[in-house]
Structure 1
Amino acid sequence: MSTSINERINRLRSRRSGLDRSTVIAMDAKDFIVNRSLTQEAWEHRAKDKPNTTFALGAMQEVDPTYTRISIETAERVSNQLTKRVTGNMEFELQGSVPLNVHIRGVSDVDLLALEANFHTYDSSGSMSRSGQYNSPTSRTSLGVLIARREEMSRVLRDAFPAASIDTSGSKAIKLQGGSLARPVDVVPSHWHDTISYQASRQKHDRAVTILDSHKNITIENWPFLHIKKVRERCDTTGGGLRKSIRLCKNLKAELEAEGQTVAISSFDIASIIYHANLHSLSAGSYYELAILAETQRHLDYLWNNKEEARRLIVPDGSRFIFNTEEKFNGLLHLSVAMDSLLQEVAKEQSYLLSLSEKPLLDASRAAVTNAVIF
């Protein structure tokens, strides 16, 4: 591999414990992380004397639930301050990796949707619209509402968290970190959009969210809850293997970036790519955990070598193709090559015969790890 595996294990441990981001959180939260990091996690004791295997297993595991709970509680603290201080009514929802449980950092940014409660848009072709269930049209526009709300929330958050860093330079989120906050929080001004599907089902996952791109002065529709629902349901059919594969990819991407390589593919796209992996093979990870590594490597390699098929893959919420830019194939290549190397190194630790080869064949490497029993 391109770097010492022990360095990768140390960085993995640091990411999971939160030590890598201890400078962006409150002092009491930092003390908690430092004390917690002194205790090793279960994965660190597995596959002794086989460090590549240890890394692969650790990279699949969920973050300590205590860390996740603190992330959610910090987002709730921010939403409570906004509720008290802004004009009008707001609703709040979490989106992204934390509610889906595919985040890889103990100190993970939390995406908080700040939804305008008294304004939403709807598809006029939907059943609720046709039956006259919406109020009369208003002169207010999505763009105007969200620009005004973003400006107000920026002021309010500075007053509510005076010691925190408030960054409004991004196009979509107001970023808070430091001060008294135990986790960084990204607040996204938004409102609901009632799609045709939502008007028929009345289910939250069918409801779209409209957000502001303040740099381009436009609004964008997203389906964060449909994405969460689709990935969660498919993961359940694999006994958790899908989430483990996503975390493995995200951790390996983090390693490549720590080593100075750019991997031009987002966490959302990684989750979408793995969503299309072989479910039966991922399910084998319930008994043979390294089978998840084997399937992840196979799937990435297959997509790189079959780009036309890759171009036809759609994100779980159905809103677009995954590979909607050619740049993403560069990201796929870097991630796929790194996964090849990890698989080969793990296979050499699991098979004496393969350990005699500097770079064993990928088919043989997959066979060696797929049925390996790790205690």
Structure 2
Amino acid sequence: MIQDYSNLIRRIEDRYNPDQNRLVEQRMFSDLSTEGRDVAKYVKMAMSAVDDHYTAITKEAGEVVKKHLKDEQQYMNVTYRYQGSVMTNTHIKGASDIDLLTFTNKFVSTEIFEVRKILKSPYSSAYDSYDLTKLRNYADNFSLYTGDFLQDLRELRASNESVMRKWYDECDIEKAKAVHIYNKNLKRDVDIVTACWQDKINFVVKEEEKYRGVSIYNKKTNSTEPSSCPFLAIENINNRSAATNGRLKQMIRFLKNVRSDSDVKIELTSFEINAVCYSIPVDSYRNTYYLDMVYLLWHYMYNLLKDENQLLQIKSVDGTEYVFQKNRDKIAELRKLKDEVWQIYQKLNN
């Protein structure tokens, strides 16, 4: 971490208020005068949310893209949803991008084999009789899709590319998992992702969309990626942060800003940072003063790195996968982030 915190403050100001909007500056940064030292100001800013003015523009860019697609895909039976940090208000750029998921509804991936396995030994399952009835009805009414699901996804991806190239000069169709466009009027990037639904067991039982799996199509490999539940992750972060007076999101933003401001490259994504923060026991920070959360974060990461077994048990926010088991190289990156937070804590206590 560069120790010139006045410079780091300017970096955050540039990220959060790229247009140097005076009203945004007044709303976001006017109360910093109550903090005496630059390091405390930096922490406060790093935990703050991007102003609604910028977030609204980002969402507008997504809506413009969605309208273009809906107008030209109205006969293709497509569903549109958003995912990503903008939906949890944990993004750290005023000019943030947004992910628009486009789903083909020609088919739905399922966990039918897992359902049938549960029904073969219902007494040893974790489901009650009411849930088992739902699973049995689902299995009884299941019919295998006879079409070519990869062809369906290729067609949707091709349509996304065609529509975006028609409307946007800056359109990258070479990315494996998304079409990337830049809206020059709104000065925003949008990623248009081709995907399909997966009826996970929890979705069958609970019948809420947040439990539905999402499998992203990879153009380069002509295959689908392992599914996750992004809408459950969004709800989990929003609900837990609301229950802690916004502290969960403050911690996430802080670590993302520290990562971005470090003079060492820290290759942790929002996915890993979200998971680490979400795994912290709520009672340990529910009423914690924001400056004290710096030590809390350092101490938690320090203990995780001392106990690799505990670290390897950390799951994604949606609970679908173990975060560090699949990519142990990320452990070294977490150590770098922990060291950056330690330097900030030391500076606060000098």
**Cα displacement (A) at 1:101:** 1.2
Counterpart residue type for residue 85 of structure 2: S
- Aligned-pair identity in percent equals 24
For 2:96 and 2:136, how far apart are their aligned partners in 1? 40
1:140 aligns with 2:147: yes
**Cα displacement (A) at 1:105:** 0.8
CA RMSD of aligned residues (A): 2.0
With 118-127 and 263-272 compared, the bigger mean Cα shift is at 118-127
Instruction: Tell me which of 237, 241, 244 is aligned to 1:238.
Output: 244
**Cα displacement (A) at 1:237:** 2.5
**Cα displacement (A) at 1:242:** 0.7
Q: Give me the TM-score of the superposition, normalised by structure 1.
A: 0.81
Match of 1:112 in 2: 100
The aligned runs of 1:344-363 (5 Å cut-off) are 344-348=346-350
Whether contact under 8 Å (2:236, 2:317) holds in the other structure is yes
Match of 2:166 in 1: 159
Q: Structure 1 pair 119/36, CA: closer, same or farther in 2 (3 Å)?
A: farther
Q: Which deviations, in whole Å up to 9, do the C-alpha atoms of 1:103-122 show, x marking residues without a partner?
A: 11111110111111333222
Whether contact under 8 Å (1:56, 1:248) holds in the other structure is yes
The aligned runs of 1:1-375 (5 Å cut-off) are 1-17=1-17, 19=18, 34=21, 36=23, 39=26, 41-42=28-29, 45-86=32-73, 87-124=75-112, 125=115, 126-132=135-141, 136-161=143-168, 163=169, 165-220=170-225, 221-256=227-262, 259=263, 261-285=264-288, 288-323=289-324, 324-348=326-350
For 1:43 and 1:331, how far apart are their aligned partners in 2? 34
For 1:336 and 1:72, how far apart are their aligned partners in 2? 32
Q: Secondary structure at the match of 1:113?
A: strand
**Cα displacement (A) at 1:41:** 2.0
For 1:218 and 1:118, how far apart are their aligned partners in 2? 16
Q: Structure 1 pair 169/47, CA: closer, same or farther in 2 (3 Å)?
A: farther
Q: Secondary structure at the match of 1:156?
A: helix
Counterpart residue type for residue 138 of structure 2: S
**Cα displacement (A) at 1:309:** 1.2
Whether contact under 8 Å (1:89, 1:118) holds in the other structure is yes
How many residue pairs were aligned? 326
**Cα displacement (A) at 1:123:** 2.6
For 1:232 and 1:38, how far apart are their aligned partners in 2? 26
Q: Give me the TM-score of the superposition, normalised by structure 2.
A: 0.87
**Cα displacement (A) at 1:43:** 6.1
Whether contact under 8 Å (1:43, 1:58) holds in the other structure is no
Whether contact under 8 Å (2:48, 2:253) holds in the other structure is yes
Counterpart residue type for residue 297 of structure 1: W
**Cα displacement (A) at 1:38:** 5.6
For 1:251 and 1:322, how far apart are their aligned partners in 2? 21
Whether contact under 8 Å (1:8, 1:255) holds in the other structure is yes
Q: Secondary structure at the match of 2:177?
A: coil
